[in-house]
Amino acid sequence: MPPTKRIGLVSCVKRKLAVPAHAEQLYTSTLFKKSREWAITNCDEWYVLSAKYGLVRPSKRVEPYEKTMKEMSTSARLQWAGRVYRMMGRAGLLREGVIFIWLAGRDYKKELSELLKKYKQEDPMEHRRMGERLRWLNLALSVNQK
């Protein structure tokens, strides 16, 4: 059996820099920054789930944009999920021993998690609202620093 590899999936956020930047720096909200820090600490690799660009390596330089999953129809979200799934395949992520760790909201997770159902998935912040997610991340990150 191949070794387990933990892949963090961090959703993009509305607050962004106004200039092109690496994906890991483009998004400026506290939730994104804490999710990024948690993924770096607890996952072997991590990626940004972008409403516009799909699956994005943290080091990829991207342009700022105004597009959210909330504004997409169900059909558009299904198309987005299929695109991201194909991008995951091309990136070599769809293999035995991978665990996908969700640090993303319901709009990013719903359709894509169905496509990933044959792979192990964990969502440490499932059923938590925004403030609860930040509290959970703050606590988890403070425990890691001890």
* Residue 77 CA: distances (Å) to CA of 56, 65, 104, 109, 121: 17, 17, 14, 10, 19
Residue 131: the pLDDT is: 84
CATH number of the domain to which 99 belongs:
3.40.50
* Domain that includes residue 114, residue range: 5-144
Say how many domains are in the chain: 1
pTM of the model: 0.93
Residue 10: the pLDDT is: 97
Residue 1: the pLDDT is: 59
In which residue ranges of the chain is pLDDT below 70?
Answer: 1-2, 144-146
Residue 127: the pLDDT is: 86
Residue 129: the pLDDT is: 84
